[in-house]
């Protein structure tokens, strides 16, 4: 079973995504802030990370920077899942090495599942 | 002397202050203050020299100059202060819309995902009646999401924060993908959508995602307003067969796109307001209360900021043809093509779905 780390401070979103991906055969690890997310990524080495940008303690940019600087976590594919859709946020995240940038409000859970599956297949 | 004026301009920080309000220079309070100051000094000098020319009493001249200077200063203060208040109100309004829209997006996404889980069957089968209500809930959530997105786009337009990319893309692909996207709604509305190309249509240079929004708005309006024409026909025999035609062609340095419908048309007296924010034509409001009146305002802004032009021809009861033109792509190789392809996967290589918005 593939492990997915979901770094997101909204409990309802955590629950919905975990439930949906869980039913489709994924184990979702939850982290409710940036610090917890970094620790979970380092200790549990997930196969994929879903990352929000607006987070308590450390925001998505800081989390991404730290994970990309660490040899142990830098190759984990990261999908940004946020409601920020400004072009400068998208460009900055892409330059920092995220695999995919998704705007939450435009995605269904099925869309997210398809992109997770595709990202994991591509390795 | 030159440095003295440069220092004054730097001290006043006119460019910085005007940037804060997001208004053109001519409406910027600090710039107006500077202009009013120059006019006051010029007026004082003019009065002084005119007085001397006519051999006036120096004391009287001095008094007139002082009175004039005082009046001008008071007037300047009132005008500049009024502009400052207007600019600040406009800035706060734009900021308010942006913050509220962002805050509304999260709970709306929560609701959308929960409804998806409930209707997906993973928690057990739902009854027909329940499914019917979930469908209504989903449709209303989508309406709210559309409105929030439009408000966010408007706030970005007004804050001049709407960034438009320059990318070469095919309008034909965009239109054909859009027709597939609209297939369910066009089928349920009994409207046929056709894409017609005249010769080889050159690629367009613009932001594919934003241009998609423009065509989407025009096609969506066309379908809706044909619906009213059909619904309000006296009997089945008079009911119109709904047709929307997307015509594409290249002419000179531009690519033209026309969206033609045989819907209710726009009343003549409403035509001059059609691109105004929140405006909805009288005949449309009569039949449907929903609709934000933002779609065409957004479309006009996107087209004009992309170096194009938008317009329409309409006759009430017969239909409307909206048209817009965008600069055709130049022949040079587009260095950003790959990056944008990732951002706008809908009508590009499906393998490059790296950014989805």
Which one has a higher pLDDT value, B237 or B294? B294
**Residue A70 distance to chain B (closest CA, Å):** 23
Cα atoms in the Cβ-side hemisphere of radius 13 Å centred on A12: 11
Query: Are A106 and B105 in contact (CB < 8 Å)?
Result: no
Domain ranges of chain B: 1-162, 167-352
- Which residue is closest to A82 within chain B, CA to CA? B106
- Average the pLDDT over A103-112 and give the result: 90
- B343 contact residues in A (CB cutoff 8 A): 90
Chain A residues lying within 8 Å of B120, measured CB to CB: 20, 109
Alpha-carbon gap: B101 to the closest alpha carbon of chain A (Å)? 10
B9 band by pLDDT with thresholds 50, 70 and 90: low
Q: What are the residue ranges spanned by the domains of chain A?
A: 2-122
Q: Output B160 or B223, whichever has higher pLDDT.
A: B223
Q: Give the integer Cα–Cα distance in Å for B356 and A100.
A: 8
| Mean per-residue pLDDT of chain A | 92
Question: For the domain B167-352, what is the CATH code?
Answer: 3.30.565.10
Cα B344 to Cα B337: distance, rounded to the nearest angstrom: 11
**pLDDT, position B214:** 94
Segment B20-36 shows an average pLDDT of: 74
- pLDDT of A106 reads 84
Taking the C-alpha atoms of B85, B91, B94 and B95 in order, what is their torsion angle to the nearest 10 degrees?
-120
* CATH node for A2-122: 3.40.50.2300
Provide the pLDDT for residue B21: 67
Which position has the token pair 């208040």?
B85
Query: What is the pLDDT at residue A12?
Result: 92
Mean pLDDT of the region B176-197: 88
Longest dimension (CA), chain A: 36
* ipTM for this prediction: 0.89
Nearest chain B Cα distance for residue A103, angstroms: 5
Which positions ≥6 away from A67 have C-beta within 8 Å? A38, A41, A49, A73, A74, A76, A78
User: How far out from the chain centre does Cα B276 lie?
Assistant: 9
* Res A25: pLDDT: 94
Alpha carbons A78 and B129: distance in angstroms, whole number: 40
Q: Each residue of A50-90: pLDDT tens digit?
A: 999 989 999 999 999 999 999 999 999 999 998 887 777 88
Is B163 in contact with A115 (Cβ distance < 8 A)?
A: no
Could you tell me if A104 and A50 are in contact, meaning their C-beta atoms sit under 8 angstroms apart?
Answer: no
Q: Which pTM was predicted?
A: 0.67
Report pLDDT for B19: 67
């Amino acid at each position: 079973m593939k492990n997915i780390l979901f770094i997101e401070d909204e409990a309802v979103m955590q629950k919905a995504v975990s439930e949906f991906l869980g039913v489709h055969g994924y184990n979702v690890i939850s982290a409710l802030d940036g610090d917890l997310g970094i620790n979970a990524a380092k200790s549990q080495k997930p196969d994929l990370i879903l990352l929000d940008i607006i987070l308590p303690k450390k925001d998505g940019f800081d989390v991404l920077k730290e994970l990309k600087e660490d040899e142990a976590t830098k190759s984990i594919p990261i999908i940004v899942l946020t409601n920020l859709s400004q072009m400068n946020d998208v460009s900055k995240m892409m330059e920092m090495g995220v695999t995919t940038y998704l705007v939450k409000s435009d995605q269904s859970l099925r869309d997210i599942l398809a992109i997770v599956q595709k990202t994991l297949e591509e390795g | 002397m030159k440095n003295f004026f440069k220092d004054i301009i730097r001290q006043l920080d006119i460019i910085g202050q005007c940037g804060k309000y997001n208004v053109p220079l001519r409406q910027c309070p600090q710039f107006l203050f500077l202009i009013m100051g120059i006019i006051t000094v010029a007026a004082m000098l003019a009065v002084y020299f005119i007085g001397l020319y006519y051999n006036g009493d120096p004391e009287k001249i001095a008094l007139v100059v002082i009175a004039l200077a005082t009046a001008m200063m008071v007037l300047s203060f009132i005008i500049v202060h009024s502009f400052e208040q207007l600019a600040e109100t406009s800035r706060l309004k734009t900021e308010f819309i942006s913050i509220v829209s962002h805050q509304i997006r999260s709970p709306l996404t929560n609701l959308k995902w929960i409804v998806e889980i409930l209707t997906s069957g993973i928690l057990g089968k739902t009854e027909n009646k329940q499914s019917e209500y979930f469908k209504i809930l989903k449709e209303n959530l989508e309406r709210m999401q559309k409105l929030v997105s439009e408000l966010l786009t408007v706030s970005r337009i007004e804050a001049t924060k709407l960034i438009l990319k320059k990318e070469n893309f095919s309008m034909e692909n965009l239109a054909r993908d859009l027709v597939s996207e609209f297939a369910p709604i066009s089928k349920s509305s009994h409207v046929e959508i056709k894409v017609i190309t005249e010769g080889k249509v050159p690629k367009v240079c613009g932001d594919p995602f934003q241009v998609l929004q423009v065509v989407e708005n025009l096609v969506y309006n066309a379908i809706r307003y044909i619906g009213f024409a059909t619904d309000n026909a006296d009997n089945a025999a008079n009911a119109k067969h709904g047709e929307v035609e997307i015509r594409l062609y290249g002419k000179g340095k531009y690519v033209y796109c026309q969206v033609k419908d045989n819907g209710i048309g726009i009343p003549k007296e409403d035509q001059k307001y059609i691109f105004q924010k929140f405006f909805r034509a009288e005949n449309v409001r009569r039949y449907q209360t929903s609709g934000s009146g933002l779609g065409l305002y957004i479309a006009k802004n996107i087209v004009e900021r992309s170096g194009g032009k938008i317009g329409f021809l309409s006759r009430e009861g017969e239909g409307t043809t909206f048209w817009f033109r965008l600069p055709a792509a130049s022949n040079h190789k587009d260095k950003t093509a790959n990056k944008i392809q990732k951002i706008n996967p809908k009508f590009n290589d499906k393998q490059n779905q790296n950014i989805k918005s």
